[in-house]
Structure 1
């Protein structure tokens, strides 16, 4: 076969997919961005993570239902194309690729911040450039090697988080190395109250909270390269609630119990700050290695997800044909190089505005992330509405709480987008998002629709699910 049609390889098993999802979801948003959400909402950010996590779980279950029923490269962009029309598929797919670029820029930015723990006088952009080169090279290997690498990188994060929680509990219980700060659970309500940031701060914290959950939808992207999607996808999706409680809520509760929330700043990872603050310097150094590993893992997953999404777009004629080119090992190398080139923008940003970049980038990423989630939910609603009662009953992995849970989640996601406009620092996300969506629409109308001959609506679901989907499945196999 020609190089551009060699196709993706199904080299990801259940273990790989679960940890790829962890790699993308448990990264900079938790290890670094949590300081921003804590500053905004105070201890009440714990409630924000629970609420946001519940909404994301419903998004993932809706995506999981579609992915199990029809595993395909490109995932939700393909589903939006099928059920909402080619324009929706085009906008959703490219917005997700854009999201992964922006999230990856945030991740490489965090690496520069973490390296400042040891080398405060070295310019941040140097570390950012090194990270882009290393992770980019790793993504050009086979998908199986990528899956193994991500498994071990994510395992390091999980072990470290569990260890941090256990050590943190010991510090709280026995006052180990308490230094000059008060340690105790009462830090969650004695420093201005649980809602210390006020209702406004609590609401604003959702901008960072939802950014932290960005990347979990990569579970759907992996469907095209999963060995047994009907088994691996449900297993990965159903573990999300436990991850949210353990890795976000419990972890941040320990952090704010050891160090009063108002003393946590964005000069580094709060994970490192808390142990440095109570005098456990060696533990702080070890954790800094861990958060570096976490950031590299997240970038690894970001490049994977964006590359596979752009590959799926090219398969539908929604992207340059060159993006279908793969290595003999089934890696879409052109899209990987595109991602590496985009990440070099992060190097420039870290050289020009190192102090302001993270909040700006995370806000834009939140817009792109939530927009994609909204499109996933709208696609799921349209797909379900076209099913008969018998077809719905035959679903192997049906989303729960249909249809009320989906409606509530859509309202919540829309509210998150609106609240971005109420804060001066996050308003830029709506401005950039509006320009991005307008640009995509113009490109689609002037270039893509003419080339593909697509009308405003896609073909009927049954037709596309037949011949076209079978052809794509053959390409992905």
Structure 2
């Protein structure tokens, strides 16, 4: 790989098509992946990655943590993630390359920070497909107990791998269909739910209690609920892994798509959880794991009966096991491809199919890992969720730090609101969520980071290093 040229004076750089706009080749990489994605494709990808009906599966847990103020929790989650989305936007414009936070921290701070950021986000990316398969298998097993959960896991892994292997265009087309199906299911629930509230089903009435209940609201309560709800927002960062597949190389599209997808999905989260919470007035928690896990589906039964309960359960299972995990596998394979291309992971993962222009070996590797972990952690949704959160949030901390170092310290940017205030607030919010995270998440996450440090030391001692060949 050739050494990348020095950074331009303007850290954000000119727009594509302007003289001096940075290309992928200017970073020392050849264009290998197919450039075919436009703004709608990226937004749809982000929406599917975050899953518009994600609250279906974790509504009970967030309800318990927030004492019924689920909608407020998602509004705060939007604010929290908005600062992170802004940091992604700024770094994606400065460095329009695959690798997400790994590339941004590596070039924004230094190669060691980049490696640790990539290692941390790997915990998220490698486990997300597994988590989604396990969640879907559990939901379908409840409907068809005669089918073992491992059968569903194997089926989902095979289907998603084949689709991703066919190419990014196939994935993008199916994403639109999946998103449409999820939005239809969501619209049906909201419609019947609102009608049930209007009729006064279960004593329901329209109010703002799910948004704020001053008698119960405390900072600790909100951050505790946010540590669970943030799982629904994870995925918008996956848009940045497609930077090298944007049509025309327009680096502004990734940032725009990230913010747009985040705002759209947050609006959907707030509406559906507000309606659901209205149908259980006066309640502040669900008792027992079974009641908590099936809370949203039981509320759907109140709104429309057994058919609506079954529809929401099946929709959540298929959206999670196919649609969401499909894009999660695609994002993970791009991260592995980017790190392997920089010799931070085995070189065979950097291979690109000559015709389909997809990182085929990385895709197959993710499929194998998901299959092994899925069969090993069947039914352990809570543990997997906790570990996924830690990896993503720690990487977000390094992302915010990278924005400050790259733009403010290195390039003396005067855009204080974007390059000082926004990352600082992002650091505080993400740090608070991590502090209030599940003990198992912190223990497992720190163990994973310790392993990453050992790998980093090994690279240095063996002479391989972690140098990204950066110059400023």
TM-score (norm 1): 0.83
Taking the TM superposition and a 5 Å limit, the aligned residue runs for 1:272-311 are: 272-295=297-320, 296-311=322-337
Partner of 1:221: 241
2:182 to 138, 142, 157: 157
Q: C-alpha offsets along residues 270-308 of structure 1, whole Å, 9 cap, x if unaligned?
A: 443222234522222222332133202110111111100
Partner of 2:14: none
1:334 is aligned to 2:341: no
Partner of 2:254: 233
Partner of 1:44: 69
Shift of 1:53: 1.5
Pair 238,400 (structure 1): closer, same or farther in 2 beyond 3 Å: farther
Shift of 1:224: 1.6
Q: Distance in 1 between matches of 2:154 and 2:433?
A: 33
SS at match of 1:319: coil
Matched positions, count = 437
1:102 to 124, 127, 140: 127
Pair 101,411 (structure 1): closer, same or farther in 2 beyond 3 Å: same
Work out whether residues 255 and 270 of structure 1, in 8 Å CA contact, stay in contact via their aligned partners in 2: no
Work out whether residues 74 and 224 of structure 1, in 8 Å CA contact, stay in contact via their aligned partners in 2: no
5+ residue gaps, structure 1: 421-425, 463-477
Partner of 1:247: 268
Q: Distance in 2 between matches of 1:210 and 1:385?
A: 28
SS at match of 2:204: coil
Partner of 1:143: 168
1:124 is aligned to 2:157: no
Q: Distance in 1 between matches of 2:88 and 2:210?
A: 37
Q: C-alpha offsets along residues 33-92 of structure 1, whole Å, 9 cap, x if unaligned?
A: 232111222222332222221121111111111212321021321121123222211121
Pair 8,166 (structure 1): closer, same or farther in 2 beyond 3 Å: same
Taking the TM superposition and a 5 Å limit, the aligned residue runs for 1:383-422 are: 383-386=406-409, 388=411, 392=413, 400-420=417-437
Work out whether residues 85 and 258 of structure 2, in 8 Å CA contact, stay in contact via their aligned partners in 1: yes
5+ residue gaps, structure 2: 1-28
40-49 or 267-276, which deviates more: 267-276
Taking the TM superposition and a 5 Å limit, the aligned residue runs for 1:191-206 are: 200-206=220-226
Taking the TM superposition and a 5 Å limit, the aligned residue runs for 1:343-354 are: 343-351=370-378, 354=379
Work out whether residues 90 and 318 of structure 1, in 8 Å CA contact, stay in contact via their aligned partners in 2: yes
Taking the TM superposition and a 5 Å limit, the aligned residue runs for 1:23-42 are: 23-26=48-51, 29-42=54-67
TM-score (norm 2): 0.84
Partner of 1:64: 89
Shift of 1:410: 0.2
Pair 275,234 (structure 1): closer, same or farther in 2 beyond 3 Å: same
Q: Distance in 2 between matches of 1:6 and 1:460?
A: 19
Work out whether residues 231 and 385 of structure 2, in 8 Å CA contact, stay in contact via their aligned partners in 1: yes
Q: Distance in 1 between matches of 2:145 and 2:218?
A: 34
361-370 or 50-59, which deviates more: 50-59
Q: Distance in 2 between matches of 1:449 and 1:306?
A: 28
Partner of 2:389: 366
